[in-house]
């Protein structure tokens, strides 16, 4: 289990992000420290998106000024607007200051489903050498099932964490891998919810309190930091090819890199997987304010 399975999410470099983020968006100096730490920690892939504020531009500025090896890029886009698909690909390449995009993803399953011509446009960009793989960011198992028979989709990004766990996702992930697709996961820390003081849990999230308390109990029982438990759980899953994490500081990333090499006990992994959230809608952060 190494940091090579880690993917650094960079939404924080372009937008204030996360339920437990009290620091806001890192400044340019700290953003470059984060990327330096990722490079030194052998993280190969960065995950970004056109919708993540200035994230793509920050990465591009780093590539231009750091003199270090260029990261491999996963970026996402929304369909629609005046730009053609080709223009969106070229714009991403220009902002990120790379020669090509390693994985270009539909930012939502709906974008993929409603725009079959855009998929063909992406295939053309792939044939031109500007894209390595085409992917889709999903939320549900039903969406993953619909992608099983789509030969042009090679990467699927889904939520996965200690609450949105193997009970919810494992069979879908195994099916994707059996179909020859790469499985990437996000929300390993559930947008920082695992680190939140339970006494300050918003009313909307109170139905998750008991399950979160179980995690706090396991943390105390096994004497293991919450971030190490959360990251170790995701990295331990053979049905996952890449684990996306986000950080607010370089110090956080250093801590996560240290945790990436520490395996959880089989007993702890099994216990976490027994947690079954009743209100699964609350596992999707987009529902937290509805």
Express each pLDDT in 172-202 by its tens digit: 999 999 999 999 999 999 988 999 999 999 9
User: In the chain, what percentage of residues exceed pLDDT 90?
Assistant: 88
pTM, full prediction: 0.93
Q: What is the pLDDT of residue 19?
A: 45
215-222: long-range contacts (C-beta < 8 A, 24 or more apart)? 215/162, 215/163, 215/272, 215/275, 218/268, 218/271, 218/272, 222/265, 222/268
Is pLDDT above 50 for 67?
A: yes
Phi, psi of 174 (to 5 degrees): -60, -40
Is pLDDT above 80 for 101?
A: yes
Q: What is the pLDDT of residue 66?
A: 87
Give me the mean pLDDT over the 52-64 stretch: 95
Least confident of 12-16, 40-44, 82-86, 217-221: 12-16
Rg (CA), the chain: 19
Q: What is the pLDDT of residue 21?
A: 42
CATH number at residue 103: 3.20.20.100
Q: What is the pLDDT of residue 24?
A: 65
Q: What is the pLDDT of residue 159?
A: 97
Give me the mean pLDDT over the 57-85 stretch: 93
Q: What is the pLDDT of residue 131?
A: 98
> 169 with 187: CB under 8 angstroms?
no
Residue 178, H or E segment: helix 166-178
Give me the mean pLDDT over the 79-94 stretch: 96
Among 265, 256, 236, smallest CA distance to 3 is for: 256
Give me the mean pLDDT over the 259-265 stretch: 93
Phi, psi of 13 (to 5 degrees): -75, -15
Number of domains in the chain: 1
- Name the one residue in this structure whose structure tokens are 């204030």: 16
> 111 with 79: CB under 8 angstroms?
yes
**Domain range for 143:** 3-287
Instruction: Grade residue 1 by pLDDT with cuts at 50, 70 and 90.
Output: very low
List CB contacts of 157: < 8 A, sequence separation 6 or more: 47, 74, 105, 135, 136, 137, 138, 184, 185, 186, 244
Q: What is the pLDDT of residue 25?
A: 79
Give me the mean pLDDT over the 89-118 stretch: 97
**Mean confidence (pLDDT) of the chain:** 93
Residue 209, H or E segment: helix 209-222
Give me the mean pLDDT over the 100-108 stretch: 97
Is pLDDT above 70 for 2?
A: no
Is pLDDT above 80 for 22?
A: no
Give me the mean pLDDT over the 119-135 stretch: 98
Is pLDDT above 60 for 23?
A: no
């Amino acid at each position: 289990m190494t940091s090579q399975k880690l993917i650094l999410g960079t939404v924080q470099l372009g937008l204030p992000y996360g339920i437990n983020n009290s620091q806001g968006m890192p400044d340019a100096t700290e953003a470059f420290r984060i990327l330096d730490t990722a490079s030194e920690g052998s993280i190969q892939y960065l995950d970004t998106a056109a919708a993540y504020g200035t994230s793509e531009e920050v990465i591009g500025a780093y590539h231009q000024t750091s003199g270090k090896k260029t990261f491999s890029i996963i970026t996402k886009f929304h369909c629609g607007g005046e730009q053609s698909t080709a223009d969106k690909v070229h714009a991403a390449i220009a902002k990120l200051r790379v020669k090509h995009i390693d994985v270009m993803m539909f930012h939502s399953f709906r974008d993929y489903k409603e725009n079959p011509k855009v998929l063909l446009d992406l295939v053309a960009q792939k044939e031109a050498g500007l894209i390595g793989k085409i992917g889709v960011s999903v939320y549900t198992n039903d969406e993953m099932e619909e992608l099983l028979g789509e030969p042009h989709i090679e990467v699927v990004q889904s939520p996965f964490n200690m609450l949105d766990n193997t009970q919810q996702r494992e069979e879908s992930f195994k099916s994707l891998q059996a179909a020859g697709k790469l499985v990437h996961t996000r929300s390993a820390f559930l947008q920082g919810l695992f680190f939140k003081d339970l006494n300050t849990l918003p009313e909307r999230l109170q139905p998750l309190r008991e399950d979160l308390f179980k995690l706090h109990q396991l943390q105390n029982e096994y004497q293991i930091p919450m971030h190490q438990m959360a990251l170790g759980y995701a990295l331990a899953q053979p049905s996952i090819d890449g684990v996306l994490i986000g950080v607010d500081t370089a110090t956080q990333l250093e801590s996560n890199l240290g945790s990436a090499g520490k395996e959880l006990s089989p007993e702890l992994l099994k216990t976490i997987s027994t947690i079954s959230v009743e209100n699964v809608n609350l596992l999707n952060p987009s529902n937290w304010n509805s």
